[in-house]
Structure 1
Amino acid sequence: MPIITIQMDKGRSVQTKREVAAAVTDAIVNTLGGERKWVTILFEDYERNDWAIGGNLQLDRHGPLKPETYK
């Protein structure tokens, strides 16, 4: 049973996560075989002050998250 963890910037809507879960599940089943019910996806949302790239916090690179940033 595949377990997939998707780590991303906090702020995506529940609907967006539904769409990602469906698309990733389809890709796993189409590639590895098996059944959809065997695929587990975990979402880990990170605040911009808890995530750095190249030694710089995402908060400093992109500013605070604005509600309209993600659908």
Structure 2
Amino acid sequence: MPIITVKLAKGRTAEQKQQFVEAITKEAAKTLQVNEEWVTVIFDEYNRENWASGGQLHSIKFGEGFGRAGTE
């Protein structure tokens, strides 16, 4: 039973996450030779002010709304 955890910044729509889940489930089942029903995907979503890289918060480094094109 594969469990796949996806960490990402908040802002994706339910439709985007559904498309992602369908694609990753299909590929995981094919590659690992398991039933698609056995594949679990868990999203861990973070606010940009709770995510940093290179010593700087993403909310400051990239600005508000960065990476959200097409999500509204």
With normalisation by structure 2, the TM-score equals 0.89
Unmatched 5+ stretches in structure 2: none
Unmatched 5+ stretches in structure 1: none
Equivalent residues, number: 70
> Structure 1 runs of 4+ off > 2 angstroms?
68-71
Shift of 1:64: 1.5
The 5 Å alignment of 1:1-71 reads 1-65=1-65, 69-71=69-71
In 1: Cα distance, 2:70 partner to 2:62 partner: 14
Shift of 1:30: 1.1
Q: Is the 8 A contact 1:10 1:46 kept in 2?
A: yes
In 1: Cα distance, 2:42 partner to 2:10 partner: 14
What is the root-mean-square deviation in Å for CA atoms of aligned residues?
1.4
Percent pairwise identity: 36
Q: Is the 8 A contact 1:48 1:65 kept in 2?
A: no
SS of corresponding position for 2:11: coil
Report which of the two has the higher share of helix: 1
SS of corresponding position for 2:21: helix
